[in-house]
Structure 1
């Protein structure tokens, strides 16, 4: 297995939407090809496990992928873009009937067990909504940022706002908003008709203080190109929609979108001090909800935040503060953990990153299911112990 320092980690950008039918996968496919045409090495994970469509849009045959000598899946390549999708693993009309844990397994495989090679950008075409797949990706992988696609209609924009808020809550930088299906230009007279209203995507971006990446106009050729496996940026490169895709791709190529703070992922085993993350190297003028460095003095976790403040949280206090379903009632928030059963000499044994927004922790009593968000850690001054 190669050493971590020799592996080039691509920028992982999630393309999301609050609801279906807004053309998110079409946007993803065309942006991917536009990025490849600009000279970047690009991969696409079709993370819509239940409704994969990227292979069809890029003209990829439904052949089962080959395996590399080290047992990794070799992705398909089309229009200069590497692709992995559930559609390549199942028959064309076979439904993916999977429970949550199996979906998580496939997502992990699509990212970590595919022979991507050296990529500059890995686009993740997410299913609509803010459910299990979105949360799994945010927790398991260091997303560099997210793009939200919406149509100009009020219903779509309202749901898109929820998607933006969800990404913010898990510390995924919002790279911007794309307004798709933004007006139809009559091919005969040139009159622009705003079928789904206009300006909503830009207004949402301004309201939430994120970038507005651009408008993609309606184009009848999009349907034909998608069905024929020819992305619009190749089939009709001079069309207004193709120009919009290239402009958006240029904006994404020029933004790093990296979350500030500790580099992720990491898994630090305290006993032998392996996997400890290096300090972020940032000064004391960063955001207050990002961790700059981690340390442990034998009985407490020491958190240094990017605004220059420092916390010392005792191992046992962290254990008592666990909010997992084993330790707290999910509805009432009442503590289920009996503090009297937590040993006084309990120790923290392992710390690992959960996406860009939380830490996972394991303790000497075997407990390891808690997720400690940066926000909850920042507010943790001391744990009141009742009925000891």
Structure 2
């Protein structure tokens, strides 16, 4: 995967304001991912949690219809100037479908899609939430990378059907999330089998056991199988998810089981994100992770500081590292500083002042940092892995 310079150095909400965010993804379309998302969200709400959904499929939004929310019209604004989300069956929702007419296409280029996604998460008056589910479009493109870079995702769930082609593409989605350091919470096998309502015979239309096999192969949790149920279609069209319209059905039981697993998810602690630290007045400096987070993981950042000699980074493997600011500037891999095809450096070291300073530092999802320097450069993304392997001065552990 190629790093894209899409992370913004703009202001972000503090980590304490952000709920746990879980991305529901799929490698390909047509696997029932949005249906799974809607039913899991309602099951979580029924269990007493405060839940929201961001319908991140800008071009093909479907969550509002599944939850009985009327699309279109001008959104309401809260007193603090944020968009007020709609609500259906106890779940708060923000979607492109709520900003346009039902049959109006979203004709948008990449930068506008990015702006809408950031608005859907950061400029919506969600109130206090326990969980925010992000219903992603299929694939591993701009939308997935934007969300992974802009927000500290607690984890991702991959939805697949049992047939081989779906599982192969799902594997790519899993690998993409791993590369941007989003924890994989597990795999859901949707449409796993059809139970005859008359005789009870189970027919595995799309094969059997593929989701469980791929989870085992990749070393991630298998969250469960959701059987085919004709009621899923009727309930979705009626705006009442199956977990409410047919709570005793096998599919509803599967949704509740998956929801219970996700409700108890906890992720390994790292440096408090998101953050945007202005070094001039020290505003926005991130809080360090607790000492208990030292689990030996080599490229999980636990602390970040700055002194006259450079940047000081503490890692979960116990290493505390000091990097010179000029060294960090010269190591930039953005398109302005390094050829994206050949990897050849484009930055002339003679143009970088010896006394260059860092003016701002911000988080890029769970896996990287962005830096603004006193020479005006601010487009590079430095992954934790890259920073951890840079040659610096080892600092005595404190």
Asked whether the 8 Å contact 1:29–1:57 carries over to 2, the reply is yes
Distance between the aligned counterparts of 2:379 and 2:309, measured in 1? 20
Q: Secondary structure at the match of 1:69?
A: coil
Correspondence 1:267 to 2:286: no
Which of 192, 195, 210 aligns to 1:182? It is: 192
TM-score when normalising by structure 1:
0.95
Report how many residues are paired. Answer: 379
In structure 2, the partner of 1:355 is 365
Could you tell me which residue of structure 1 aligns to residue 6 of structure 2?
A: none
How far has the Cα of 1:8 moved from its partner?
Answer: 4.2
User: Structure 1 stretches of 5 or more lacking a match?
Assistant: 383-388
SS of corresponding position for 1:246: helix
Deviation string, structure 1 residues 112-150 (Cα, Å, up to 9, x no partner)? 111111111100000000100000000111111111000
Q: Deviations over 1:304-349 (max 9, x none)?
A: 1111012211100100000000000000000000111111111122
- 1:252 counterpart = 2:262: yes
Question: What are the within-5 Å matches in structure 2 for residues 99-118 of structure 1?
Answer: 99-118=109-128
In the alignment, the residues of structure 2 paired with residue 57 and residue 308 of structure 1 have an alpha-carbon distance, to the nearest angstrom, of 48
Structure 1 residue 134 corresponds to structure 2 residue 156: no
**Residues 4, 218 of structure 1: CA spacing in aligned structure 2 closer, same or farther, 3 A cutoff?**
closer
Q: 1:265, 1:352 within 8 Å by CA — same for their partners in 2?
A: yes
Distance 2:140 2:239 in 1: 29
For the 8 Å contact 1:8–1:119, the answer to whether it is kept is no
Distance 1:170 1:223 in 2: 34
Hey, what's the Cα distance between the residues in 1 that align with 2:17 and 2:351?
45
Alignment map for 1:12-51 (pairs within 5 Å): 12-51=21-60
Contact kept, 8 Å, 2:94 with 2:120, in 1: the verdict is yes
Distance 1:19 1:99 in 2: 21
Query: In the alignment, is the contact (CA less than 8 A) between 2:195 and 2:201 conserved in 1?
Result: yes
- Structure 1 contact 186–192 (Cα < 8 Å) conserved: yes
| Residues 1-388 of structure 1 mapped to structure 2, 5 A cutoff | 8-64=17-73, 65-256=75-266, 258-283=267-292, 284-381=294-391
Q: Does the 8 Å CA contact 1:299/1:347 hold for their aligned counterparts?
A: no
Distance 1:119 1:297, change over 3 A: same
Which has the higher mean CA deviation after the structures are superposed, 293-302 or 48-57?
Answer: 293-302
Q: Whole-Å Cα distance in 2 between the matches of residues 76 and 234 of structure 1?
A: 19
Given that residues 266 and 353 in structure 1 are in contact (C-alpha distance below 8 angstroms), is that contact kept between their aligned partners in structure 2? yes
Q: Secondary structure at the match of 1:123?
A: strand
CA distance 1:308–1:7, change in 2 (3 Å): closer
CA distance in 1: counterparts of 2:42 and 2:307, whole angstroms:
50
Runs (4 or more) in structure 1 with deviation over 2 Å come to 3-9, 282-286
- Does the 8 Å contact 2:13/2:275 carry over to 1? no
The answer to whether the Cα contact below 8 Å between 1:172 and 1:259 also exists between their aligned partners in 2 is: no
Distance change (3 Å), C-alpha of 1:91 and 1:5? closer
Structure 1 residue 285, shift from structure 2 partner: 2.9
CA RMSD of aligned residues (A): 1.5
* Partner SS state of residue 162, structure 1: helix
